[in-house]
């Protein structure tokens, strides 16, 4: 995974790029469809032009900004902008994740550092799934990425 982190005036920009063995259609299906969300982020689903985050007593509707099949999915993430970009490659597919998140992002559940850490963990898991590898230990991955993010935003 190639990771690029930038601290802008009001936002952080996180970019994660990687190539996987899975073909473009399989990568797209995992990351941008309801059947795929069920495998890696079961609290998410797409309904019409909205991305729904739902768990127990909490429901959030976020705007689906772009949905170009097998190319890009982008959505509002509670004030941040998240996108996945896809390209076909000879031996699989190339995926670039981007998040533009306000430095003052946050609520009672999360903040910018926690959110970026979560997306780094999720992308590590997506890479493993799409390469048919064992999932990483989530606690170890979270610790590793928390340390990385803390170093970037200091």
Q: Is the pLDDT of residue 108 over 80?
A: no
Cα atoms found within 13 Å of the Cα of residue 44, Cβ hemisphere only: 19
Mean pLDDT on 81-97: 96
> What's the whole-number average pLDDT of the chain?
94
Mean pLDDT on 145-149: 97
| Total count of domains within the chain | 1
pLDDT band at 87 (very low <50, low <70, confident <90, very high): very high
Residue range of the domain that includes 147:
2-153
Q: Is the pLDDT of residue 110 over 90?
A: no
pLDDT band at 81 (very low <50, low <70, confident <90, very high): very high
4-60 pLDDT per residue, tens: 999 999 999 999 999 999 999 999 999 999 999 999 999 999 998 899 999 888 888
- CATH number of the structural domain spanning residue 25: 3.30.530.20
CB 104 within 8 A of CB 139: no
Question: What tokens appear for 138 in the block?
Answer: 């989530």
């Amino acid at each position: 995974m190639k990771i690029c982190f930038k601290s802008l005036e009001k936002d952080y920009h996180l970019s994660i790029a990687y190539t996987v063995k899975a073909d473009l259609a399989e990568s797209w299906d995992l990351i941008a469809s309801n059947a795929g969300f069920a495998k890696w982020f079961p609290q998410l689903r797409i309904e019409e032009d909205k991305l729904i985050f739902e768990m127990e007593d909490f429901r959030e509707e976020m705007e689906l900004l772009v949905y170009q099949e097998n190319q890009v999915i982008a959505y509002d993430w509670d004030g941040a902008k998240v996108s996945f970009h896809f390209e076909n490659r000879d031996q699989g597919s190339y995926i670039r994740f981007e998040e533009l998140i306000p430095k003052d992002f946050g609520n009672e559940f999360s903040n910018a550092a926690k959110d970026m850490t979560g997306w780094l963990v999720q992308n590590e898991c997506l890479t493993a799934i799409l390469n048919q590898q064992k999932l990483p230990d989530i606690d170890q991955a979270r610790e590793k990425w928390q340390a990385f993010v803390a170093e970037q935003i200091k």
